[in-house]
C-alpha cells in the first residue's frame, strides 16, 4: 500500500514538473534584480531570432514617448536603457507578449536631417 502511494506521489510530482517545464518564462518585476534575472533567463532561452525581437521590443518600450534625441540628452534615465526601467510595464509578460507590446507602443521614427 505504501509503495503504491509513494509511486502515485512520484508520478504526480513528475507530471507537475513537466507541466511547469512547458510554461513560458514570465518577467518577474518584484525588484530590479528579479527583473534583470528573469530577463536574462528569458533571452538565454530564446532562439537567436526571438532574442533579437525581444531586444528590439525592450528598446521600443523604453523609447515610447521619446520624440527626439534632445529628449534623450535631457533625460539621463534614457541614456541607460534596460529591462529594470520598464519592469512595471512588462511585469508578468512572456517573451511573445513583450514583443507584441513593443510593436504596439513604438513611437520611434527616423526623420531626415534638416526637418
Q: Which DSSP string corresponds to 45-74?
A: HS-HHHHHHHHHHHHHHHTTT--SHHHHHH
pLDDT of the residue at 31 = 96
CA 52 to chain CA mean position, Å: 12
Which residues of the chain, if any, have pLDDT below 50? 18-19, 110-111
Contact between 114 and 50 (Cβ < 8 Å): no
Helix (H) or strand (E) holding 104: helix 95-105
Which pLDDT score is estimated for 110? 43
Q: What is the residue extent of each domain of the chain?
A: 25-105
pLDDT computed for residue 34 by the predictor: 96
Amino acid at each position: 500500500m505504501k509503495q503504491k502511494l509513494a509511486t502515485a506521489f512520484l508520478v504526480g510530482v513528475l507530471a507537475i514538473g513537466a507541466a511547469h517545464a512547458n510554461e513560458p518564462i514570465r518577467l518577474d518585476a518584484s525588484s530590479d534584480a528579479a527583473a534583470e534575472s528573469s530577463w536574462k533567463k528569458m533571452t538565454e532561452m530564446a532562439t537567436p531570432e526571438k532574442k533579437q525581437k525581444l531586444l528590439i521590443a525592450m528598446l521600443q518600450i523604453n523609447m515610447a514617448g521619446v520624440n527626439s534625441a534632445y529628449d534623450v540628452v535631457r533625460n539621463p534615465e534614457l541614456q541607460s536603457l534596460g529591462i529594470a526601467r520598464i519592469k512595471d510595464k512588462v511585469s508578468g509578460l512572456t517573451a511573445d507578449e513583450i514583443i507584441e507590446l513593443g510593436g504596439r507602443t513604438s513611437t520611434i521614427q527616423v526623420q531626415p536631417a534638416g526637418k
